[in-house]
Amino acid sequence: MKIGIVGGSIAGCSAAILLGRLGAEVSVLERASHMLLGKGAGIVLPENLIQQCIHLDLFDNNIPPLPISTRTLTVKDEKFDHSGKQIWQQPIDVVALNWSDVYFNLYKRIPNNSYCYKEEIISASETNNICHVETSQGKKYTFDLLIAADGIDSIVRKKILPQYSSDYTGYVAWRGVTNMPELGQYKIPEGFMPCYVYKNGHLLIYPIPASDYQTSGTKLLNWLIYEEFDSNALEKLLVDNNGIKHSASLPPRSLTAEHLKHLKQFSDRVLPRNIAEIIHKTEKPFLQIILDGQVPHYAKSRICFVGDAATILRPHSGSGVLKSINDSINLSKILECSEESDLVTALQAWDVSQKTIAHQQVSLAKTLGNALVTNTPPWEKMDFEIVDEWWKSIMTGREWYATRQQLK
């Protein structure tokens, strides 16, 4: 079977490895001109997914993870301390990784001749059980199965499901990665993920392994800070320092002087002084518009959708990469058990199960976003016990891998 995969990031690479191992002739068509290293920042995953990926030979067994076991909530209180007043500690169970390590572990497992750069797909269709794609250079390809792994702005999705659109949540995340010395006097205890809360948002910080962590032990500091923005303001916000309008994010080095000034003032206003310093000292912050989305069909005949092309989750549940890898694992399991003649029927079954899984993922991410950004409680009036009750009221009846032990 000939399988075309549009997009060669987390979802595309994991699908290419797993489906290639089933004996399919796989081609990854990636529009970028070189490896995607450095595209992402820090990610968090459940430890059991990392073990599963090692077991499935998607990751090396020495991929560097930094376990996180405690999340703290802290409010700005200049009377108290320039680092804020801690109001809660929560046991969590997640592992922080560098996005580039995850990507490279997947990428290097794909045979060189299966991964094609500079192949920007501009159209996709299916006729008579054959999937067609065309590149911006006019090249045409045909496949028995087409997988859309082309991310949040998926062109395949636009062509095949033109009625679909994602929803803007009403807020954005400014993000950055910086060196640990930028922390100055402020120190993050080992295994901690501090969260600085304020009205309608928070800053989350956690260390991630640097690219040379295995030899040097160097860690970087990954942060993201949320801010509400009216949808009318996005038009201007998404214009970069070359005057180019982006659709959902502004990459590192593309923020304007106005963006940087705004971010500095915003962090001074909402964060304790020592913490705002970290944002000021970060050299190349970037911007992500936070969206919700779930395609109405994960498979439409012989064309299917995985990763961010299929489901867009708010970052709060730390499930973007988890979802992208799991989509590919689930797809490969379905295809492993079906004959080529039953492909469309197998994909219909996969579509049904994906809808259920994704619905739960979107719902959890929305719940956490609502609690931690759009509808925040009066943090300054809260103490450990009140936050504990608040958290229970949000999470009762919900499953989240990070706090699974507590909810049982």
Ligand X SMILES: Cc1cc2nc3c(=O)[nH]c(=O)nc-3n(C[C@H](O)[C@H](O)[C@H](O)COP(=O)(O)OP(=O)(O)OC[C@H]3O[C@@H](n4cnc5c(N)ncnc54)[C@H](O)[C@@H]3O)c2cc1C
Residue nearest to ligand X (CB): 307
Smallest distance, ligand X to C-beta of residue 119, A: 6
Of 292, 111, 281, the closest CA to residue 185 belongs to 281
Of 40, 64, 39, the closest CA to residue 50 belongs to 64
Residue 27 vs 74, nearer CB to ligand X? 27
How far is residue 397 from each of residues 360, 406, 407, measured CA to CA in Å? 12, 12, 8
Q: Note whether 175 binds ligand X by CB under 6 A.
A: yes
Assign residue 240 a region (left: φ > 0; alpha: ψ between -120 and 50; beta: otherwise).
Answer: beta
Residue 32 vs 260, nearer CB to ligand X? 32
Residue 51 vs 393, nearer CB to ligand X? 51
Residue 87 vs 365, nearer CB to ligand X? 365
Total length of the chain:
408
In whole angstroms, give the CA distance from residue 165 to residue 43: 26
Smallest distance, ligand X to C-beta of residue 206, A: 9
In whole angstroms, give the CA distance from residue 78 to residue 391: 26
Piece in contact with ligand X (CB under 6 A), picked from 30-38, 67-75, 108-116, 370-378: 30-38
Q: Note whether 365 binds ligand X by CB under 6 A.
A: no
User: Residue 334 has which token pair?
Assistant: 């379905």
Q: What would the 3-class secondary structure string for 249-287 be?
A: EECCCCCCHHHHHHHHHHHHHHCCHHHHHHHHHCCCCEE
User: Residue 106 has which token pair?
Assistant: 């997947």
Q: Note whether 322 binds ligand X by CB under 6 A.
A: yes
User: Given candidates 18, 20, 27, 31, which one binds ligand X under the rule CB under 6 A?
Assistant: 31
In whole angstroms, give the CA distance from residue 224 to residue 250: 14
Q: Among residue numbers 136 through 165, which ones bind ligand X (CB under 6 A)? A: 149-152, 155
Binding mask 279-318 for ligand X (x = CB under 6 A): ----------------------------xxx-----x--x
> 157, 261 in Cβ contact below 8 A?
no
User: Given candidates 3, 17, 26, 41, which one binds ligand X under the rule CB under 6 A?
Assistant: 41
Smallest distance, ligand X to C-beta of residue 51, A: 16
Residue 81 vs 120, nearer CB to ligand X? 120
Q: Among residue numbers 55 through 114, which ones bind ligand X (CB under 6 A)? A: 99
User: Given candidates 194, 207, 209, 320, which one binds ligand X under the rule CB under 6 A?
Assistant: 320
Residue 148 vs 275, nearer CB to ligand X? 148
Smallest distance, ligand X to C-beta of residue 262, A: 19
**Exposed / middle / buried, residue 188 (Cβ in 10 Å: 0-12, 13-18, 19+):** middle
Q: Note whether 43 binds ligand X by CB under 6 A.
A: yes
Smallest distance, ligand X to C-beta of residue 168, A: 17
In whole angstroms, give the CA distance from residue 150 to residue 303: 13
User: Given candidates 4, 5, 9, 92, which one binds ligand X under the rule CB under 6 A?
Assistant: 9
Angle of CA points 220, 86, 271, to nearest 5°: 60
Q: Transcribe 58-75 into DSSP letters.
A: SS-TT---EEEEEEEEEE
User: Given candidates 60, 120, 240, 388, which one binds ligand X under the rule CB under 6 A?
Assistant: 120
Residue 68 vs 75, nearer CB to ligand X? 68
Piece in contact with ligand X (CB under 6 A), picked from 34-42, 54-62, 254-262, 359-367: 34-42
Helix axes 320-336, 343-369, angle to 10 degrees: 160
Smallest distance, ligand X to C-beta of residue 113, A: 17
Listed in sequence order, the residues at least 6 apart from 73 whose beta carbon sits closer than 8 Å to its beta carbon are 86, 87, 88, 89, 90, 195, 197, 379, 387
Residue 32 vs 349, nearer CB to ligand X? 32
**Exposed / middle / buried, residue 388 (Cβ in 10 Å: 0-12, 13-18, 19+):** middle
Smallest distance, ligand X to C-beta of residue 381, A: 30
Q: Note whether 6 binds ligand X by CB under 6 A.
A: yes
In whole angstroms, give the CA distance from residue 190 to residue 36: 29
Residue ranges in contact with ligand X by CB under 6 A: 6-12, 29-32, 36, 40-44, 99, 119-121, 149-152, 155, 175, 307-309, 315, 318-322, 324
